[in-house]
Chain A
């Protein structure tokens, strides 16, 4: 069950990163650096909050981004929040 949830979260996140942030799908890997790969600036983080809310129904606190370094960190963070909501 947890694996299904994780796969779903990863798929949704990758989808909006490719569609909305226009990141090359091939550059996404669990260990890659999220900020560097997406070339995020402070404005982009606002839109990341919007996308997470729109896709998963909860709001990321800005300070939570401090501990999110890799894509895998991001997946784990979202997955834990989603699981906690269920």
Chain B
């Protein structure tokens, strides 16, 4: 079995458009939540969302490379060029080696809606244009990035709701561990446009605290009133230890375990048993004790049912010695298909800079979760091992354990 390490990361999120900006936002507990006024004109209950600019790619990519990229593909591209640079993989390297891509994405609503609008208007399919199909498919991110970066290895999208990004890393880890692939670009991307969020808004799941956007996302807090949709792109390049050493790559961490499970229960309501099983599997595979985990990046999205069920699972699995825990969604909102990958990056940034980012806006935790070891404020702490949880609709669960690299 191969050991699997992380050799490059890149991020484009509402906390910043590169690793340095995001690290500073995490340290200072800076929220990336704001208002999208257009949502009100479109009949949304809530206009709260993660705020991030659409990147300008005209100087970076040719027309044909650009016109198939949906919003989330553009975010993923920006994150991936940062990660590739860190991993010291240039285009010559990528086109001559077998590098794969497994990226999480679970919607591409805006191009689908725009194509349908155009068809209804023009009554002619040709007039939809050539880029639409490549923007509209669920695999839009991997089909575009694999083409742009000339990738020659595994090439597919992982769709697993809000655990997509996490499963992409877990499945990449599994392939490398089994010796099937040496280097894989993993990650997650999430569109932030209103088109993709109307039906979710309609479930009354989103916070409506529009008078105070940066206080709206309050995972674990009694006074929460829902989650805030958000997104961007997060790329995590993983590699066999042997390959990383041979190349002299910088090793950011080692993936020790990937736990997964399905609740076998309700389509949207979470449960406790499913997360317990994915947590336990991740720990067993890592061959470490629960007490060895020093930080948990919680999935907690700022919904009562989700926060409480995850809290119960963590209390049960980690018992008396609770690791420090925070939900960075308090700052980012819920980055959904991207979250499992971005939260690995957020945790790596913390681990390499000696702090645990705060669970902002948590002033009054749920009574039954008071024994969780919350990071209410930024905690200066050197740590070596963390665990990141991601759960999604349909009861899909993923837990990943990462350790600072040592021989």
A residues whose Cβ falls under 8 Å from a Cβ of B:
20-22, 41, 43-44, 46-47, 49-50, 53, 59
Contact = CB atoms under 8 A, between A and B. Distances in A.
A59 B126 contact: yes
Nearest to A46: B130
B269 interface: no
Nearest to A54: B127
A21 B64 CA distance: 9
B248 interface: no
Interface string B102-128: 000000000000000000001010110
A76 B63 CA distance: 26
Nearest to B134: A43
Nearest to B67: A47
Contacts of A49: 126-127
Nearest to A60: B126
A22 B130 contact: no
Given A21-B63, A43-B64, A59 B130 contact: no
Contacts of A46: 126, 129-130
Nearest to B125: A46
The bracket for how many chain B residues form the interface is 10 to 19
A44 B124 contact: no
B63 A22 contact: yes
B62 interface: yes
* Contact residues of A: prevailing secondary structure: helix
Given A20-B63, A46-B129, 10 more contacts: A22-B62, A43-B64, A43-B130, A44-B64, A47-B67, A47-B129, A50-B126, A50-B127, A59-B124, A59-B126
In terms of DSSP, what is the predominant structure of the interface of chain B?
loop
Contacts of A59: 124, 126-127
A53 B118 CA distance: 13
B103 to A, nearest CB: 23
A50 B126 CA distance: 7
A15 to B, nearest CB: 15
B63 to A, nearest CB: 5
A7 to B, nearest CB: 27
Closest A-B pairs by Cβ, 9 of them: A43-B130, A46-B130, A50-B129, A22-B63, A47-B130, A49-B126, A50-B127, A47-B129, A53-B127
A44 B127 contact: no
Contacts of A50: 126-127, 129
Contacts of B130: 43-44, 46-47
A49 B129 CA distance: 8
Nearest to B63: A22
A20 B62 CA distance: 11
A49 B126 CA distance: 8
B244 to A, nearest CB: 38
Nearest to A45: B130
A21 B58 CA distance: 12
12 contacts: A41-B64, A44-B64, A47-B67, A47-B129, A49-B126, A49-B127, A50-B127, A53-B122, A53-B127, A59-B124, A59-B126, A59-B127
